[in-house]
Amino acid sequence: MTMNKVECSNCGSNAHIVHGCYEFPESGLSSVVLHGIEIVHCDDCGNDDPIIPNLSDLMRLLAVCVISKPERLVGEEIRFLRKYLRMTGEEFSRLLDIDKTHLSKLENDADPVGDQTDRLIRVMALITGDGLRAKLDEVVELFSKMRAARGRGRKKAPRPMQVQVDAPNLTYQYA
């Protein structure tokens, strides 16, 4: 097996490319793990830099993951969708017809996300997000399943999604 030699972006030492898994906090989501990607690894400083050839497709897939999440959205997911839509807090709050201070509280988990706001955020992301409209019917069907689950007494506090992404095939599963 040959290893390509590259330079470490952190310390400038010689590094090499390995295949593996990479936690992807740069996405703006705390629990995303990319599987099957190339990583520039430096043995000297331990730095890992992922090589993501189709970043826009990956970010679209993560937006679909967030929108399709079977539980209520949490702050980091709302912020992720806003940034995916390339909107400022002011622009997104205007789109949702809510005060920008309220949006900030939602994004920082200072206020819980209500059912109607959750749905509105998902639908607006689907309608305005690049390449997301095709998922509209699927997500609307999800709404009724979420309502049925709440009706069975599942009043757990929402939590950030944990997702495993097969990066080369652009598929995902919730962990």
Domains recognised in the chain with CATH numbers: 5-51 (no CATH), 55-160 (1.10.260)
Tokens 């470490």 locate to 8
Comparing 29-38, 81-90, 139-148, 152-161, the range with the smallest average pLDDT is 152-161
> Pseudo-torsion of CA 62, 9, 39, 170, nearest 10°?
20
What's the pLDDT at 1? 42
- Could you tell me if 29 and 62 are in contact, meaning their C-beta atoms sit under 8 angstroms apart? yes
Asked if residue 147 has pLDDT above 70, the reply is no
**Per-residue pLDDT band at 140 (split at 50, 70, 90):** confident
Please indicate, yes or no, whether the overall pTM of this predicted structure exceeds 0.75.
Answer: yes
As a whole-number percent, the residues of the chain with pLDDT over 70 amount to 92
Crossing angle between the packed helical segments 75-84 and 55-68, to the nearest 10 degrees: 140
**Per-residue pLDDT band at 150 (split at 50, 70, 90):** low
> Pseudo-torsion of CA 127, 131, 135, 137, nearest 10°?
50
Query: Residue 63 carries which DSSP code?
Result: H
Going from the C-alpha of 14 to that of each of 37, 46, 48, 155, the distances in angstroms are 20, 12, 12, 51
Query: Residue 175 carries which DSSP code?
Result: -
Query: Residue 113 carries which DSSP code?
Result: P
